[in-house]
Structure 1
Amino acid sequence: MTVTGSFDPALAGSRWPGADFIRQRAMKLLDGVVALWIFAGGIVLIEPSPYEVMFLLVLPVAIVAGLGLYRSTFGLLAILMCFTPFALIACLQVRIAPLNDALIFTAVTIFLLLTSYFVANYVAEATEKRFRVIMGAYTVIAVILSIIGTLAYLRIMPGADFFLRYDRAKATFKDPNVYAPFLVLPAMFALQRVLLGRAWQAVFAAGVYLVLFVGVFVSFSRGGWGHFAASSIITLALVFMLESNARDKVRILMMTLIGAGLLVVALGGLLSMPQVGRFFEQRASSQNYDTGETGRFGRQGYALELAIDHPLGIGPGEFSRMRIVEEPHNVYMSVLHVYGWGGGLMYYILVALTLWKGVGTVLRPSPYRLMAIPVLATFSMVVAESAIIDSDHWRHFYLLIGLIWGLSTAIRNDPRAATYRNHMLI
């Protein structure tokens, strides 16, 4: 196993009679606190969010438990270390936005990068077990939030307005456009189990997929709709080409036809409601805030001009206090003026390296490819959607990065080309 070092009480000068007992207890506790941390990722109403607070519990438990650190994940640590000074320098460039707000925003970004590094090493060390811990907690909170969002949209639950924004479901997120993409990853794992799992597993997974599909739909996020649909197509195509035999292919084709029919029926049922139908027609058509100098694409041009003129950046929150009050909604433009040219370059490297590692994990036969397919399908579409939205504070974006780096490390350290498939279906 390629480990650069793990926590050892003897090396820290803390070899005392209870050290081994404490470490063993921490090991047993670690998976539980990680599950609570992932669960907290579905509650993002303030910054710092409960997700960041819970990580302050996860990190010391992981250190005491002796979590291993892998050489192949050092790229993430290097990006974090290079990104931090550029981002802090950009913070100091703010002129209108409060410096405290800018510092908090940047601190959250750095913190989220650290969570990616943690997840990569956490998953690499005991991949199958820990991947199930993460996806189990993620799926539970995603299904709960999808049900809450749907019930709130239909206004058949108390306090429905709290879980809506502009009459669109957002659950416990600030914005429907963040809530919808959050639901995609567990839906992709459910879809994969529908395609390859045993009959009873496929039926249960189909129910999960349908619940999450409806949750995304009632967010009325056009980016979320496209993200869900494209990730589903990528997952289906990769499973069909890489992980299925002739018998599986026939089943997948049949399940695809049946599933598409059921989704059309579900969609038709939703659109039959007059309010839903009118809102869908409105959201599916071109929006006036997409065009013009102050529209989405006009703002992106202005953001690029600012970035070119300010190599050190202008800092977080500054753009919306200048000539145009709304953010550019393009993370590849935003990172240049929020974190400066250096910080923006580190962000580009992070995305490019993660995509490269993700593609590598999927193309290489391994026991972990079934875990990698839904993760890559989801991450690649987050990368694409980021051209029309600011995703640099999406908690699940950094989780996806950590999962891909962790899986890439696991594949390098495990010489097996395959194993019993049902063991690796999440």
Structure 2
Amino acid sequence: MSAVTHDLPPAAVNAKLIGLITSGAVFLGIFLSGFVIDEPAPYDLYMTGLIAVWALFGLRISRAVSPLLVLLVLFNIGGLIAMTQMEDLMDTPLYLSVSLFLAFTAVFFAAVVEAKPDIYRLIFMAYVASAVLTSVAGIAGYFHLFPGAAIFTKYERAAGVFQDPNVFGPFLALPGIYLLYLLLTGPVSRMPLIAMPLLIIVGGIFLSFSRGAWGLFAVAAILLTGALFLQSRSGMFRLRIVVMTIAALVLLIAAMLVILQIPGVADMFTNRAKLAQDYDSARLGRFARYGIGFALALEKPLGIGPLVFGQIYGEDTHDIWLKALMDYGWLGFVSYLTLTVWTVAAGFRLLLRDRPWQPYVLCAYVVYLGHIGLGTVIDTDHWRHMYLLFGLIWSGIALEYRYQRGRLRLPVAGATAR
């Protein structure tokens, strides 16, 4: 222990140690979110313990965060009611347990970050580290870089340490967008350090061959650059945004042209780039099931129970709104719709305000908007990072609520994270 530490009061030393322990605990939790091969995942077990311990030692849910808690609990109550409509419960109790657990993770992250705003940066750092590692695994698996690397692929697509490439790809969107933000706003000297992990993550997104992930990242990147352009009053900074956006597009196109020369990549890309796959437009394909499901929801306001739709029609709903209606009933659907509208409206108010947490909320918000669109063609119900997005945005909402009421002071020297 240093001489400086000896000079500190015991209370200050203890507070510093507690701060390091809590920060490390949150870092590890976020890092584990990139490794979800099965349920319950290591992330689930770890976060269950972390939330329980934190609750025992002072986890506080503020008034501003309480709507998030109430709406997510109502959503899960809808699932419990829908379960009463089932003759065979199958794995439904476990499924709903995971749903409720994920709801609590969203509230946990919102409450923790509201109490300690500095932890925003730590969360994003942990997310980037996790994303880079799982991306490397996915890329290595796709190109069979070492014996046994194929375990990191699924359906001949990169899946990283996930059970589905369609979850792996979207998981990488937020860390990719955050690195893009740092690239656009940070000093030129740091660009090479940021560009390397960004290229790895973008490579993972591309090799997932998930059309949803491609569109998600593209939409979020456009929204991010547009928001930065509108936010800045500096002509030079706006020029920098334009120049770097053009340069990034050129580099991206060049990288795609190079990677498409690799045998097998071009064929997979051509196949996956089709707007509608065979399983989308078949007689009982994805689009046909949408119509069947929404008609069924009018007859079954309490829902039909989690996992039942897939048992009846051979495939799950692949639509978060239909999923809510079938698995959580009308109560769940209305709760989730209300949560979505509330998150979009309240988060939008934060985008152009000069706050220390604004960059993090901005990155999470544009990725969340992309996930809303993505949810219309895929089920996002048990995506761990989706609930993290809720937590990151609602913590910003809570911090703004405290600031507007004079309960939170901003740092004197500016409020941006650039």
Judge same fold: TM > 0.5, yes or no.
yes
| Maintained 8 Å contact 2:60/2:111 | yes
Among candidates 81, 84, 93, match of residue 85 of structure 2: 93
Is the alpha carbon distance of 1:67 and 1:85 closer, same or farther for their aligned partners in structure 2, counting shifts above 3 Å?
closer
Q: Unpaired segments of 5 or more residues in structure 2?
A: 1-9
Which whole-Å CA distance do the structure 1 matches of 2:192 and 2:12 have between them? 44
Among candidates 292, 316, 332, match of residue 321 of structure 2: 332
Q: 1:31 maps to what in 2?
A: 23
Which whole-Å CA distance do the structure 2 matches of 1:36 and 1:110 have between them? 21
Which whole-Å CA distance do the structure 1 matches of 2:45 and 2:263 have between them? 42
Counterpart of 2:363, as a letter, is P
Among candidates 296, 302, 305, match of residue 312 of structure 1: 302
Which whole-Å CA distance do the structure 1 matches of 2:382 and 2:27 have between them? 20
| Maintained 8 Å contact 1:365/1:417 | no
Q: Residue 348 of structure 1: CA displacement?
A: 1.1
Counterpart of 1:212, as a letter, is I
Q: Residue 401 of structure 1: CA displacement?
A: 0.4
Identity of aligned residues (%): 33
Q: 1:368 maps to what in 2?
A: 357
Which whole-Å CA distance do the structure 2 matches of 1:77 and 1:422 have between them? 29
| Maintained 8 Å contact 2:232/2:238 | no
Which whole-Å CA distance do the structure 1 matches of 2:192 and 2:233 have between them? 19
Counterpart of 1:290, as a letter, is D
Q: Which stretch of the first structure deviates more once superposed, 324-333 or 408-417?
A: 408-417
2:291 counterpart of 1:301: yes
| Maintained 8 Å contact 2:76/2:328 | no
| Maintained 8 Å contact 2:35/2:134 | no
Among candidates 250, 256, 261, match of residue 267 of structure 1: 256
Q: Residue 412 of structure 1: CA displacement?
A: 2.6
| Maintained 8 Å contact 2:357/2:416 | no
2:314 counterpart of 1:321: no
Which whole-Å CA distance do the structure 1 matches of 2:417 and 2:381 have between them? 30
Among candidates 66, 81, 87, match of residue 58 of structure 2: 66
Which whole-Å CA distance do the structure 1 matches of 2:18 and 2:358 have between them? 30
What secondary structure does 1:71 align onto? coil
Counterpart of 1:348, as a letter, is L
Q: 1:201 maps to what in 2?
A: 190
Q: Residue 68 of structure 1: CA displacement?
A: 3.4
Among candidates 63, 70, 74, match of residue 82 of structure 1: 74
Q: 1:49 maps to what in 2?
A: 41
Which whole-Å CA distance do the structure 2 matches of 1:330 and 1:166 have between them? 21
Which whole-Å CA distance do the structure 2 matches of 1:57 and 1:316 have between them? 26
CA deviations on 1:308-327 (whole Å, 9 max, x unpaired) are 211111111111111x2011
Q: 2:334 maps to what in 1?
A: 345
Counterpart of 1:303, as a letter, is G
2:109 counterpart of 1:119: yes
- What value does the CA root-mean-square deviation take over the aligned residues? 2.2
CA deviations on 1:37-64 (whole Å, 9 max, x unpaired) are 1111111111122121111221133235
Which whole-Å CA distance do the structure 2 matches of 1:159 and 1:422 have between them? 48
Q: 2:5 maps to what in 1?
A: none
2:225 counterpart of 1:233: no
Counterpart of 2:142, as a letter, is Y
| Maintained 8 Å contact 1:90/1:314 | yes
Is the alpha carbon distance of 1:141 and 1:232 closer, same or farther for their aligned partners in structure 2, counting shifts above 3 Å?
same
Q: 1:167 maps to what in 2?
A: 156
Q: Residue 414 of structure 1: CA displacement?
A: 3.0
Which whole-Å CA distance do the structure 2 matches of 1:280 and 1:111 have between them? 36
Q: 2:99 maps to what in 1?
A: 109
Which whole-Å CA distance do the structure 2 matches of 1:48 and 1:162 have between them? 19
Which whole-Å CA distance do the structure 1 matches of 2:84 and 2:14 have between them? 43
Which whole-Å CA distance do the structure 1 matches of 2:410 and 2:345 have between them? 20
Is the alpha carbon distance of 1:228 and 1:115 closer, same or farther for their aligned partners in structure 2, counting shifts above 3 Å?
same
Q: 2:3 maps to what in 1?
A: none
Counterpart of 1:71, as a letter, is R
Counterpart of 2:290, as a letter, is Q
Q: Which stretch of the first structure deviates more once superposed, 285-294 or 338-347?
A: 285-294
| Maintained 8 Å contact 1:94/1:102 | no
Counterpart of 1:400, as a letter, is L
Q: Residue 28 of structure 1: CA displacement?
A: 3.7
State the TM-score, normalized to the length of structure 1: 0.90
Is the alpha carbon distance of 1:417 and 1:22 closer, same or farther for their aligned partners in structure 2, counting shifts above 3 Å?
closer
Matches within 5 A, 1:136-147: 136-147=125-136
Which whole-Å CA distance do the structure 2 matches of 1:207 and 1:421 have between them? 29
Which whole-Å CA distance do the structure 1 matches of 2:196 and 2:182 have between them? 11
Is the alpha carbon distance of 1:259 and 1:89 closer, same or farther for their aligned partners in structure 2, counting shifts above 3 Å?
same
| Maintained 8 Å contact 1:313/1:339 | yes
CA deviations on 1:303-362 (whole Å, 9 max, x unpaired) are 11222211111111111111x201121110111010111111111111111111211111
| Maintained 8 Å contact 1:96/1:318 | no
